Amino acid sequence: TPVPSPIPQFDEEAFRSYVAQLKGGSFIGEVEIDSNVATIQYYASFAEYMNANPQSGLTAEQFRNYWDSGDAVEKALMENSIRLFKEFPVLNEVNIFLPYQEEVFLVSLPKSQAESFLGVDFQRLHEDRTNERWRQEVSNKYFNPEDRKRFIELFVTVQGTSAEETQSLDHTVEVKSGETPSAHEDAASDGYSIEYKLAALHKGGFIREDDPLVGKFRSHLDNISQKTGEEWIRIADMTVTAQTLMKQKGVQEDLLTTIQAIEGTLPDDLKPGMIKLEEIVSAYVVLRTGGR
């Protein structure tokens, strides 16, 4: 695999240019840098890729086959995150989201942990423009199936192990009278259902800033929160309403009970949204408890 050309100093334009040269760079949909934290999001589907690249001659089969070849997913997650630290040692953390076969693979890697894993100093690697140190201490030493597997076990989490499991998260709450199951299915068909739900909770304030879940998904949650459609903004607003009413009444109840208690205070046109909010909270609870 060709190694992207090194860039002497960090800036956002150079960073984006470098990212495009990484493994699977053509399939990267979003790149974000915030407070020395880099977040990279691969396209979730061929349809999403074509929407962003309508002139592309790529076929759906070619899109699928790219990630099916060899250890393409593992290589992208491990090697890309490490290469970014080497070329841009000012980064403190790299997050990579890679959807593949009904799963979303997430690397959330602080630089200090990457250096500890490899036993290297990224600043020293960056300063050696011959790349000899990089080859000896990193690429020739660690870019192999065994160490990729070890990296994946240590630093990669997977959201949604199957379509069936993802669907079960989206159907945690019973369908209310008057609402058809298809309405729930439609809400889960965007390819980002869990992330959107978490983002709505985060935006509405149900997830505290010191919650470990926020730390783990912070960049991604913020990114999605900024891009949610009108319906999700209204749902997020309802979470704020719920919190306000809770504080006024001084009630200390669990989230679902609270939401159900205030349904009667909402206009009829917002009640379907409140039902979806129950789904949001249920999915959040499932994620926090590991399904227990």
More confident residue, 41 or 7: 41
For the stretch 61-71, pLDDT in tens is: 888 888 887 68
Instruction: Say yes or no to pLDDT of 72 above 60.
Output: yes
* H, E, C per residue of 56-72: CCCCHHHHHHHHHCCCH
Those residues whose C-beta lies under 8 Å from the C-beta of residue 286, and which sit 6 or more positions away, are: 169, 172
pLDDT reported for residue 253: 47
| Spatial distance between the Cα atoms of 246 and 128, rounded to a whole number of angstroms | 58
DSSP state of 254: -
Q: What is the average per-residue pLDDT within 127-133?
A: 92
Those residues whose C-beta lies under 8 Å from the C-beta of residue 67, and which sit 6 or more positions away, are: 24, 73, 100, 101
For the stretch 172-225, pLDDT in tens is: 222 222 332 232 333 333 333 444 555 555 555 555 556 555 555 555 555 555
For the stretch 3-35, pLDDT in tens is: 555 444 557 888 999 999 999 999 999 898 888
| Spatial distance between the Cα atoms of 281 and 278, rounded to a whole number of angstroms | 5
Angle between helices 145-155 and 72-87 (to 10 degrees): 80
Do residues 271 and 179 touch, judged by C-beta distance below 8 A?
no
Q: What is the average per-residue pLDDT within 44-69?
A: 86
| Spatial distance between the Cα atoms of 32 and 74, rounded to a whole number of angstroms | 21
CB burial of residue 25 (10 Å; 0-12, 13-18, 19+): middle
pLDDT reported for residue 174: 27
| Spatial distance between the Cα atoms of 171 and 194, rounded to a whole number of angstroms | 12
Cβ neighbour number for residue 257 with a 10 Å cutoff: 9
Domain edges within the chain:
12-159, 163-289
Q: What is the average per-residue pLDDT within 92-101?
A: 89
DSSP state of 256: H
- When the pLDDT of each residue in the chain is averaged and rounded to a whole number, the result is 69
| Spatial distance between the Cα atoms of 71 and 145, rounded to a whole number of angstroms | 8
Q: What percent of the chain has pLDDT over 90?
A: 30
Q: Which two tokens stand for residue 58?
A: 């790529």
The dihedral sign for the CA sequence 240, 241, 242, 246: positive
Q: What is the average per-residue pLDDT within 112-137?
A: 94
Q: How far is CA 258 from CA 236, 237, 245, 251, in A?
A: 15, 15, 9, 9
For the stretch 236-279, pLDDT in tens is: 555 555 555 444 444 434 555 555 555 555 556 555 555 555 55
* Count of alpha carbons within 13 angstroms of residue 170, beta-carbon side: 24
